[in-house]
Protein backbone atom coordinates (compact mmCIF):
# COMPACT_ATOMS: atom_id res chain seq x y z
CA UNK A 1 0.00 0.00 0.00
CA UNK A 2 1.10 3.56 -0.71
CA UNK A 3 0.19 6.36 1.62
CA UNK A 4 -1.47 9.22 -0.21
CA UNK A 5 -0.25 12.73 0.43
CA UNK A 6 -2.81 15.47 1.04
CA UNK A 7 -3.66 17.41 -2.11
CA UNK A 8 -5.28 20.82 -1.89
CA UNK A 9 -7.62 21.69 -4.73
CA UNK A 10 -8.50 25.24 -5.65
CA UNK A 11 -12.17 26.17 -5.45
CA UNK A 12 -12.31 26.05 -9.26
CA UNK A 13 -10.73 22.57 -9.35
CA UNK A 14 -13.05 21.34 -6.60
CA UNK A 15 -16.15 22.57 -8.43
CA UNK A 16 -15.03 21.07 -11.75
CA UNK A 17 -14.32 17.71 -10.12
CA UNK A 18 -17.64 17.66 -8.27
CA UNK A 19 -19.48 18.55 -11.49
CA UNK A 20 -17.74 15.72 -13.36
CA UNK A 21 -18.61 13.21 -10.64
CA UNK A 22 -22.25 14.39 -10.63
CA UNK A 23 -22.46 14.06 -14.41
CA UNK A 24 -21.06 10.54 -14.43
CA UNK A 25 -22.62 9.01 -11.35
CA UNK A 26 -26.06 10.42 -10.68
CA UNK A 27 -29.01 8.18 -11.23
CA UNK A 28 -32.46 9.39 -12.26
CA UNK A 29 -33.31 9.86 -8.59
CA UNK A 30 -30.29 12.13 -8.11
CA UNK A 31 -28.40 9.68 -5.90
CA UNK A 32 -24.82 8.58 -6.39
CA UNK A 33 -24.50 4.85 -5.83
CA UNK A 34 -21.16 3.01 -5.76
CA UNK A 35 -20.20 -0.24 -4.04
CA UNK A 36 -18.93 0.53 -0.56
CA UNK A 37 -15.66 -1.38 -1.02
CA UNK A 38 -14.64 0.69 -4.04
CA UNK A 39 -16.25 4.05 -3.17
CA UNK A 40 -13.10 5.78 -1.95
CA UNK A 41 -11.00 4.51 -4.86
CA UNK A 42 -13.76 5.41 -7.31
CA UNK A 43 -13.98 8.97 -6.01
CA UNK A 44 -10.20 9.46 -6.12
CA UNK A 45 -10.17 8.02 -9.65
CA UNK A 46 -12.90 10.39 -10.80
CA UNK A 47 -11.17 13.42 -9.31
CA UNK A 48 -7.85 12.42 -10.86
CA UNK A 49 -9.52 11.85 -14.24
CA UNK A 50 -11.04 15.30 -14.07
CA UNK A 51 -7.69 16.87 -13.14
CA UNK A 52 -5.89 15.10 -16.00
CA UNK A 53 -8.54 16.36 -18.42
CA UNK A 54 -8.01 19.83 -17.01
CA UNK A 55 -4.23 19.47 -17.44
CA UNK A 56 -4.73 18.48 -21.07
CA UNK A 57 -6.95 21.51 -21.71
CA UNK A 58 -4.28 23.80 -20.23
CA UNK A 59 -1.62 22.13 -22.39
CA UNK A 60 -3.68 22.54 -25.57
CA UNK A 61 -4.42 26.19 -24.66
CA UNK A 62 -0.66 26.66 -24.14
CA UNK A 63 -0.03 25.50 -27.70
CA UNK A 64 0.72 21.83 -27.04
CA UNK A 65 -0.93 18.71 -28.37
CA UNK A 66 -3.46 16.39 -26.75
CA UNK A 67 -2.07 13.60 -24.58
CA UNK A 68 -5.12 11.42 -23.89
CA UNK A 69 -5.23 9.67 -27.24
CA UNK A 70 -4.22 6.16 -28.17
CA UNK A 71 -1.02 6.76 -30.13
CA UNK A 72 0.10 10.12 -28.79
CA UNK A 73 3.69 11.07 -29.54
CA UNK A 74 4.71 14.19 -27.63
CA UNK A 75 6.38 16.85 -29.72
CA UNK A 76 8.98 19.35 -28.54
CA UNK A 77 10.68 22.10 -30.46
CA UNK A 78 12.73 24.87 -28.83
CA UNK A 79 11.47 27.22 -31.56
CA UNK A 80 7.82 26.49 -30.68
CA UNK A 81 7.63 27.59 -27.06
CA UNK A 82 4.42 26.97 -25.21
CA UNK A 83 2.78 29.55 -22.98
CA UNK A 84 4.74 29.22 -19.71
CA UNK A 85 1.83 30.03 -17.38
CA UNK A 86 -0.59 27.59 -19.03
CA UNK A 87 2.14 24.95 -19.25
CA UNK A 88 2.79 25.31 -15.54
CA UNK A 89 -0.93 25.07 -14.78
CA UNK A 90 -1.04 21.86 -16.82
CA UNK A 91 1.84 20.46 -14.78
CA UNK A 92 0.26 21.40 -11.44
CA UNK A 93 -3.04 19.79 -12.40
CA UNK A 94 -1.33 16.62 -13.68
CA UNK A 95 0.82 16.37 -10.55
CA UNK A 96 -2.28 16.61 -8.37
CA UNK A 97 -3.99 13.89 -10.42
CA UNK A 98 -0.98 11.58 -10.00
CA UNK A 99 -0.88 12.26 -6.25
CA UNK A 100 -4.60 11.61 -5.76
CA UNK A 101 -4.79 8.45 -7.88
CA UNK A 102 -1.37 7.16 -8.97
CA UNK A 103 -2.62 5.37 -12.07
CA UNK A 104 0.41 4.45 -14.21
CA UNK A 105 -1.00 5.94 -17.44
CA UNK A 106 -1.40 9.29 -15.67
CA UNK A 107 2.36 9.34 -15.15
CA UNK A 108 2.77 8.69 -18.87
CA UNK A 109 0.44 11.62 -19.63
CA UNK A 110 2.29 13.79 -17.12
CA UNK A 111 5.55 12.84 -18.83
CA UNK A 112 4.08 13.88 -22.19
CA UNK A 113 3.09 17.26 -20.73
CA UNK A 114 6.54 17.79 -19.22
CA UNK A 115 8.18 16.73 -22.48
CA UNK A 116 6.15 19.20 -24.52
CA UNK A 117 7.04 22.11 -22.27
CA UNK A 118 10.72 21.23 -22.46
CA UNK A 119 11.26 19.69 -19.02
CA UNK A 120 13.00 16.62 -20.39
CA UNK A 121 14.61 15.31 -17.19
CA UNK A 122 11.35 15.57 -15.26
CA UNK A 123 9.57 13.88 -18.17
CA UNK A 124 12.01 10.97 -17.95
CA UNK A 125 11.19 10.59 -14.24
CA UNK A 126 7.46 10.53 -15.02
CA UNK A 127 7.95 7.99 -17.83
CA UNK A 128 10.07 5.81 -15.52
CA UNK A 129 7.37 6.00 -12.85
CA UNK A 130 4.82 4.93 -15.47
CA UNK A 131 6.92 1.91 -16.46
CA UNK A 132 7.48 0.88 -12.82
CA UNK A 133 3.75 1.18 -12.20
CA UNK A 134 3.07 -1.30 -14.98
CA UNK A 135 5.11 -3.88 -13.07
CA UNK A 136 2.73 -3.71 -10.09
CA UNK A 137 1.79 -7.29 -9.26
CA UNK A 138 -1.79 -6.76 -8.11
CA UNK A 139 -3.39 -3.47 -9.20
CA UNK A 140 -6.48 -2.04 -7.54
CA UNK A 141 -9.68 -3.40 -9.13
CA UNK A 142 -10.55 -0.03 -10.67
CA UNK A 143 -7.04 0.48 -12.05
CA UNK A 144 -7.61 -2.21 -14.66
CA UNK A 145 -10.88 -0.57 -15.72
CA UNK A 146 -9.25 2.86 -16.13
CA UNK A 147 -6.26 1.45 -18.02
CA UNK A 148 -8.40 -0.49 -20.50
CA UNK A 149 -9.30 2.88 -21.99
CA UNK A 150 -5.78 3.24 -23.37
CA UNK A 151 -3.19 1.32 -25.38
CA UNK A 152 -0.73 0.69 -22.55
CA UNK A 153 1.74 -1.35 -24.65
CA UNK A 154 2.28 1.41 -27.21
CA UNK A 155 2.62 3.98 -24.42
CA UNK A 156 5.23 1.75 -22.72
CA UNK A 157 7.23 1.44 -25.97
CA UNK A 158 7.18 5.20 -26.44
CA UNK A 159 8.12 5.87 -22.81
CA UNK A 160 11.14 3.55 -23.14
CA UNK A 161 12.24 5.40 -26.31
CA UNK A 162 11.90 8.82 -24.68
CA UNK A 163 13.85 7.80 -21.58
CA UNK A 164 16.93 6.89 -23.62
Rounded to whole angstroms, how far apart are CA atoms 110 and 26?
A: 29
Angle, CA of 39, 40 and 45, to the nearest 5°:
95
User: What pLDDT score was predicted for residue 1?
Assistant: 44
Q: Which residues make Cβ contacts (< 8 Å) with residue 153, sequence separation at least 6? A: none
Helix ranges, 26-151 (H): 39-62, 84-100, 104-116, 120-134, 141-147
- Structural domains present in the chain: 11-163 (1.25.40)
Helix (H) / strand (E) element for 84: namely helix 84-100
pLDDT tens per residue across span 1-28: 456 667 888 999 888 877 766 665 656 5
Between 70 and 99, the higher pLDDT residue: 99
Amino acid sequence: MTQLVPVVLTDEEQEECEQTIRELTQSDEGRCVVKKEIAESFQRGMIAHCLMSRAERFLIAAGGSAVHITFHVPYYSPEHRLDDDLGERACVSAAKACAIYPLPIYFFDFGCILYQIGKMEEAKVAFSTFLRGLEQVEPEPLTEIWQKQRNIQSSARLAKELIQ
